[in-house]
Amino acid sequence: MCGIIGILGDHQAAPIMVDALKRLEYRGYDSAGIATVNDGRLDRRRAVGKLVNLADLLVHDPLAGMAGIGHTRWATHGAPSEANAHPHRAGRVAVVHNGIIENFRALRAELDGPWESETDTETVVRLCERFLDGGMTPQDAAFATIDRLRGAYALCFLFEGEGDLLVAARAGSPLAVGHGRSEMYVGSDAIALGPLTDRLTYLEEGDRAVVTRAGARIFDAAGQPVEREMRRIAVDAQRIEKAGHRHFMAKEIHEQPQTLSDVIAAYVADGRIAPPAPYDFAATDRIQMVACGTAQIACSVAKYWFEALAGLPVEVDIASEYRYREGPIGADTTALFVSQSGETADTLAALRYARGRARAILSVVNVAESSIARESDVALPIHAGVEVGVASTKAFVNQLAVLLALAIHAGVQRGRIDPAREAELVAGLRGLPAMLSQTLAIEARCADLAGRLAEATDILFLGRGTMFPMAHEGALKLKEISYIHAEAYASGELKHGPIALVDRMLPVVVFAPMDALFDKTVSNMQEVMAREGQVLLVTDAEGAERASDGVWDVLILPTVDPVFAPILYAVPAQLLAYHTAVHKGTDVDQPRNLAKSVTVE
């Protein structure tokens, strides 16, 4: 989502803030701006579009000052425009904001116009300015403003005449305070602060922080002083560089053998599955999995694994629906939440709904310090490292690896997997990074096929068993970055409606490894070809030998135990989408209308 940076420093803040915001570009944004206090005077600069536009503006119209706030905005209320860009200002106060103020219309009704923007955030600065006019101190005015807000927000206030003060607050959207030497920082992301400091204090839900160069005083939602742990956070700068690749997404696709190896090493010890945070699956009767987007697809794959390997019934829900349907959670149900960022607003809200109802809260996350990790009974890291591309690749594959390791572990605990089968599965896991490397060899073929796919207006993905959710992953990736309409169906559902779409103009991508469902998938594929559908078969060598007659083309992957197939078949889903998007010339890393971390509902 949007990015926040705040600085109280010993150097000119503007160039430092622009650099910090560049490190947050991966989150997605459509405008940017900064504000500073210089000799007591508050001023700001804002620009629509990429950060280079703001940087150019600052060349021609510099902004001095050693105290400042900055922001990259992803539009929610109001279109991308300079008037709607942050920071917002009213009189003596400026603010940057991530999230949504749900009661902004009610606040607007009681505040004086005219209004300069269409945003919910402008109500925050107008309200704070009114409290200042009433004689409150900046800190008290900010706190009084925060008390009136309803919704999800991360906020950072800057005041005219106050060159040594930032007031920050969070509710449902992440925010951290960074500690330097005679300098202090506020940021929405450790990546933004990484080159400035490695000492961070993460604000808890409802916290407010009063930040000066001498340090930070933190208060809870009730206004009481609290102590929050300061942590040392190592951000690997190499992981936020393209390392010679054209796009971050390409780099992250090619990092997958290494990141997969990292996560398997963390979950396997002495030839057995040994999760870094233990949990007894033998004591649970059911698993409720909740996630959004690609993470929800990982859960849909894991449902097959847990039910087949561990005999555990699994329900999978989309987080944005789950919390509102008020689904019953029994005391013997384990609730498992998956989120790359660990800050996904709907997933976090669903977790809070499940707390106190479920037997335990488990989470599978990439950020150990995230809200979801901190609020879980057991947090299980995926060790994917920083993922910059909006379309998830290595994080998705590592989510699958962790969920598979947990399913194997649950099968052993519940007596469904004997030692010989466990050894076989562990050996298969350990061999996956090498097989993933072999799978990446299909890239040139994917690039060749992309030209044909880029001409399509619609594309259909089909699969059975674990390949059904992988078909969803293929369709989602293609939609996200190429903007081509794509749909996924279980192959057996083809004749129940989707076959009406099939004609000679429709590419149909079929995921069909050689498994127990292969012949049934081929039958469905034949139905497509009988209606002149253009089938791209994604299979292994034996599958290609048995079923490639009449297809448009074939992608051949290494032969693998069907249990592990989803991890390998993620690669063609990624590469087909990537090269189709490159062929069309879309913004691969920052596709339109999308953000990396969705911290609003």
**Could you tell me which residues come within 8 angstroms of residue 19 by beta carbon, excluding any fewer than 6 positions away?**
195
Are 275 and 406 a contacting pair, CB within 8 Å?
A: yes
Cα gap 372→363, rounded to integer Å: 7
Q: What are the b/e assignments for 386-395, b being 16+ CB within 10 Å?
A: bbbbbbbbbb
Residue 301, both tokens: 């794959």
Cα gap 486→480, rounded to integer Å: 10
Residue 268 host element (H or E): strand 268-269
Residue 473, both tokens: 């992953």
Are 229 and 201 a contacting pair, CB within 8 Å?
A: yes
Per the residue annotation, which of 2, 128, 299, 446 is the catalytic one? 2
The count of other CB atoms within 10 Å of the CB of residue 379 is 22
Per the residue annotation, which of 251, 303, 394, 596 is the catalytic one? 596
Tell me, what amino acid is at 461? F
| Beta strand 534-540 pairing with 507-511 | parallel
Residue 454, both tokens: 């880029």
What CA dihedral angle connects 41, 47, 51 and 54, to 10 degrees? -50
Q: Is 49 left (phi over 0), alpha (psi -120 to 50) or beta?
A: left
* Distances in whole angstroms, Cα of residue 305 to Cα of each of 27, 130, 384, 402, 566: 32, 57, 21, 12, 11
Residue 338, both tokens: 């998956």
Cα gap 47→56, rounded to integer Å: 9
Backbone angles phi, psi at 401, to 5 degrees: -65, -45
- Distance of alpha carbon 447 from the chain centroid: 26
DSSP 332-344: TEEEEEEESSS--
CB burial class (10 A; 0-12, 13-18, 19+) of residue 199?
middle
Active-site annotation holds for 156: no
Active-site annotation holds for 596: yes
Residue 527, both tokens: 């139905």
Query: In 102-219, which ranges are E strands?
Result: 151-159, 166-171, 176-179, 184-187, 199-202, 208-212, 215-219
* DSSP assignment letter at 310: I
Are 230 and 209 a contacting pair, CB within 8 Å?
A: no
Residue 537 host element (H or E): strand 534-540
Residue 105, both tokens: 């219309």
| Beta strand 378-381 pairing with 151-159 | unpaired
Our CA angle for 304, 305, 310, nearest 5°, is 115
**Could you tell me which residues come within 8 angstroms of residue 264 by beta carbon, excluding any fewer than 6 positions away?**
401, 405, 429, 430, 432, 433
With tokens 């996200």, the residue in question is 480
Give the helix ranges, DSSP H, for 225-292: 248-254, 256-267
Q: Which residues are catalytic?
A: 2, 596
